[in-house]
Amino acid sequence: MVSKKTEKQEYRLPGNLKMARPEWIAVDAYFGGLLAPPDAHLDAALKANRAAGLPAIDVSPLQGKFLQVLVRMLRPKRVLEIGTLGGYSTIWMARALPRGGRIVSLEFLQKHADVARKNLENAGLLKRVDLRVGRALDSLPKLAASGAGPFDLIFIDADKPNNPQYLKWALKLARVGTVIVVDNVVRDGKVADAKSADPDVRGTRRMTSLMAREPQLCATVVQNVGVKGYDGFAIAVVE
């Protein structure tokens, strides 16, 4: 674990994330201080996640705000999140939902889901979130069969080797206009290595090929740097 101290918060990066450069952290602290300032429920959720020993791979504050801006732009009635962890990204999105809007969030680990449920409850948001525990690839067909879609915004942020399957399910659960965001597509630039044997890289590269080949998708990638190091989002809209 690498530990980085900023003005407001300590960020522990998992060993597989390289260190964030000091200026990336300073710029995140600057913009984050103005646009994603300290907030009792969000800060409490991060604290609870670390206290419970969850990995520090929540989206950063400014990335959470990015998701929230998307929710404000799209006014989604239904959001699907794949990969809940402690519900930090869920809180950012759930807060901005329009009246009647709901998030279905899928999480494999019971322990993570339990922490997320408490965080959402403390934030007064549990009634807007439907947490489903189990492998996403088991939950997704059930969701589809129950007629839960179509979703207006889909955030894919779970195990990266399954990203191709998650994209396929996202398309099945989408409508024209649905926005799909995939986290962690750059991973320190490792994604550019066509020969990589890393299952995360291979999953992300196969997912990106699918995006590129899918005539129904208009997609791009935004590389980003910040407290979580060097990474990026893929963002696509269904046409």
Among 7, 14, 72, 218, binds ligand DHB (CB under 6 A): 14
Please work out the total of residues on this chain that contact ligand DHB, with binding judged by CB under 6 A. Answer: 7
Nearer to ligand SAH, 184 or 208 (CB): 184
Q: Which stretch binds Mg ion (CB under 5 A): 37-45, 94-102, 119-127, 177-185?
A: 177-185
Smallest separation, CB 147 to ligand DHB (Å): 29
Please say whether the beta carbons of 110 and 200 come within 8 A: no
Smallest separation, CB 183 to ligand DHB (Å): 5
Q: Report DSSP state, residue 146.
A: T
Q: Which stretch binds ligand SAH (CB under 6 A): 72-80, 103-111, 191-199, 228-236?
A: 103-111
Residue of 218, 129, 132 whose CA lies nearest to 174: 218
Q: In the structure encoding, which two tokens stand for residue 63, read together?
A: 């990335």
Nearer to ligand SAH, 33 or 55 (CB): 55
Nearer to ligand SAH, 63 or 216 (CB): 63
Nearer to ligand SAH, 57 or 191 (CB): 57
As to burial, measured by CB atoms within 10 angstroms (0-12 exposed, 13-18 middle, 19+ buried), residue 7 is exposed
Kindly give, in sequence order, each residue whose CB lies less than 8 Å from that of residue 131, ignoring residues fewer than 6 positions away. 84, 87, 105, 107, 113, 116, 117, 120
User: Applying CB under 6 A, does 109 fall inside the site for ligand SAH?
Assistant: yes
* Partner from ligand SAH, ligand DHB, Mg ion, none binding residue 225, C-beta < 5-8 Å depending on class: none
Cα 167 to Cα 179: distance, rounded to the nearest angstrom = 11
Q: 10 - beta bridge partners?
A: 5
Would you list the DSSP string of 148-159?
---EEEEEE-S-
**DSSP helix, strand, coil percent of the chain (3-state; round to 5):** 45, 25, 30
**x/- site string to ligand SAH, residues 129 to 168, per CB under 6 A?**
------xx--------------------xxx---------
HSE of 237, CA atoms in CB hemisphere, 13 A? 5
* Partner from ligand SAH, ligand DHB, Mg ion, none binding residue 106, C-beta < 5-8 Å depending on class: ligand SAH
User: Applying CB under 5 A, does 157 fall inside the site for Mg ion?
Assistant: yes
Q: In the structure encoding, which two tokens stand for residue 7, read together?
A: 């003005």
Residue of 155, 91, 98, 89 whose CA lies nearest to 121: 91
Please work out the total of residues on this chain that contact Mg ion, with binding judged by CB under 5 A. Answer: 3
User: Applying CB under 6 A, does 16 fall inside the site for ligand DHB?
Assistant: yes
Which positions touch ligand DHB (CB under 6 A)? 14, 16-17, 57, 157, 183-184
Which positions touch ligand SAH (CB under 6 A)? 57-59, 83-85, 88-89, 106-109, 112, 135-136, 157-159
